């Protein structure tokens, strides 16, 4: 009786054993949760910093099937969550800090405790890239932003610059025209990556202007952004453009730092998966933008999440059927 160790009890109460642990609550994570829950695996989703992932920061999603009039990003995330929870998934507002894949069950340390997971689905998404020019970091939140849905409202009747030439830049620039008096899109080349529909909408919009073959070299301002220094890449000419806002949409980097050295990754840090969403570690799957440098759509991420959960289910079933 005297051998009872209260210390051990405390540790035990903070340690949860789960069959399927899902890191990240974007479309990939929540779709995985739905499938794993319907397989009665009682998955736990750790939300990370952004419930609903990047999709939740998108004002309107017009290309997710089933919503002919479009659907708000946050609203779609809530629907995903509700559906997964309806079948028994648990969504925890918690952040994974450390992961140990050297032995099963795998250990995931979080802000609030520790999980032992038989299988893991990594769906931690991606983070917007920075321009990495002087003034950018200092003026973030003071005129420099990476999220139009979050910050567009602050630029009512103001002049705004958007940097980038892909779908995100065009989509978000069009969104900001609701508030801003003018939106100038600056792109480093002459051709855009964005789809034709978005390009045409932007080119026809009376509030939109374009500056091509040009990069931002500095964000200028003390308390708040007042201007940008620009450089024309063809002529070398440098100029200054007054602006109240700078929105940067130049792509993303995968949130895979935590798993570095524990599984195969590409040079850019994308987790490498096969066609079954399997990573190089047994029982560990990856889905969505952490493993997808090509498509990055809500539907493709959700599809990858579903596939990862189906494969995790099969893996657990096979293990259970093998007598130990
Ligand atoms: P993206 O397609 O990779 O475009 C990034 C843009 O930023 C490119 O035009 C690139 O220029 C430019 N860029 C990159 N680094 C730069 C730098 N340091 N300085 C200046 N410009 C820089 O990224 P995205 O627009 O975020 O889209 C990512 C993926 O999500 C794409 O597959 C896209 O189709 C998808 N997406 C789809 C939708 C939709 O379907 N409605 C909406 C949003 C995103 P270059 O062109 O010269 O490389």
Residue 19 Cα to ligand 1 midpoint, Å, equals 37
User: Comparing C-alpha atoms, which of 291, 287, 290 is closest to residue 305?
Assistant: 287
Q: How far is the CA of 159 from the centre of ligand 1 (A)?
A: 22
Closest CA to 120 of 292, 311, 291: 311
φ, ψ of residue 164 to 5 degrees: the values are 135, 160
313 in Cβ contact with 32 (< 8 Å): no
- Residues 157-161: what's their mean pLDDT? 98
pLDDT at position 7, please?
40
Mean pLDDT of 201-215: 98
If you measure from the C-alpha of residue 250 to the centroid of ligand 1, how many angstroms do you get, rounded to a whole number?
A: 5
Check: pTM over 0.85? Answer yes or no. no
Q: What is the mean pLDDT of residues 212-238?
A: 97
Q: Are 288 and 122 in contact (CB under 8 A)?
A: no
From 167, 202, 299, give the residue whose CB has the most ligand 1 atoms within 8 Å, as the site to mutate.
Answer: 167
Radius of gyration of the chain (CA): 22
Ligand 1 pocket, residue 58 CB under 6 Å: no
Q: Is 251 in the pocket of ligand 1 (CB under 6 A)?
A: yes
pLDDT tens-digit profile of 25-62?
Answer: 999 999 999 999 999 999 999 999 989 998 888 878 88
Residue 19's pLDDT band, with cuts at 50, 70 and 90, is very high
Query: What is the Å distance from ligand 1's center to 170 Cα?
Result: 9
In the chain, % of residues over pLDDT 90: 86
pLDDT tens-digit profile of 283-294?
Answer: 999 999 999 998
SS3 (DSSP) at 32: helix
Q: What pLDDT digit, counting tens, does each position of 116-128 carry? A: 999 999 999 999 9
User: For residue 299, what pLDDT is reported?
Assistant: 96
Element of type H or E holding 248: strand 245-248
Q: Which DSSP string corresponds to 133-200?
A: -TTTTTTBTTTEES-HHHHGGGGTT-EEEEE-SSHHHHHHHHHHTTT-SEEEEE-SSSS--S-HHHHH
Ligand 1 atom showing the smallest separation from residue 167 Cα:
25
> Residue 152 pLDDT > 80, yes or no?
yes
pLDDT at 13: 60
pLDDT attached to residue 115: 97
Q: Is the pLDDT of residue 6 over 70?
A: no
pLDDT at 68 over 80: yes
Q: What is the mean pLDDT of residues 217-236?
A: 97
Judge if the beta carbon of residue 189 lies within 6 A of ligand 1.
Answer: yes
Evaluate if residue 182 carries a pLDDT over 60: yes
């Amino acid at each position: 009786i005297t051998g009872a160790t209260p210390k051990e009890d405390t540790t035990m109460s903070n340690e949860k054993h789960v069959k399927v642990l899902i890191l990240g609550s974007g479309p990939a994570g929540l779709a995985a949760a739905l499938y794993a829950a319907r397989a009665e695996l009682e998955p736990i989703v750790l939300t990370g910093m952004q419930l609903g992932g990047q999709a939740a920061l998108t004002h309107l999603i017009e290309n997710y099937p089933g919503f002919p009039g479009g659907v708000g990003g946050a609203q779609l995330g809530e629907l995903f969550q509700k559906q997964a929870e309806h079948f028994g998934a648990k969504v925890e507002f918690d952040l994974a800090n450390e992961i140990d894949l050297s032995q099963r069950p795998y250990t995931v340390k979080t802000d609030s405790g520790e999980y032992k997971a038989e299988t893991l689905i990594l769906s931690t998404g991606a983070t917007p890239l920075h321009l990495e020019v002087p003034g950018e970091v200092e003026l973030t939140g003071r005129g420099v932003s990476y999220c139009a849905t979050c910050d567009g409202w602050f630029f009512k009747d103001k002049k705004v610059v958007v940097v980038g030439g892909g779908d995100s830049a065009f989509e978000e620039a069009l969104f900001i025209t609701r508030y801003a008096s003018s939106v100038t899109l600056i792109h480093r080349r002459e051709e855009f990556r964005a789809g034709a529909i978005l390009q045409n909408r932007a080119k026809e919009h009376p509030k939109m202007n374009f500056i091509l073959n040009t990069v931002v070299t500095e964000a200028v301002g003390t308390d708040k952004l007042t201007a940008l220094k620009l450089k024309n890449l063809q002529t070398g000419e440098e100029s200054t453009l007054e602006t109240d806002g700078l929105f940067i949409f130049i792509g993303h980097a995968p949130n895979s730092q935590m798993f570095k050295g524990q599984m195969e990754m590409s040079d850019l840090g994308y987790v490498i998966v096969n066609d079954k969403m399997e990573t190089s570690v047994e029982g560990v799957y990856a889905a969505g933008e952490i493993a997808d440098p090509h498509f990055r759509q809500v539907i493709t991420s959700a599809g990858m999440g579903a596939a990862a959960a189906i494969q995790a289910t099969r893996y657990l079933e096979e293990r259970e059927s093998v007598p130990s």
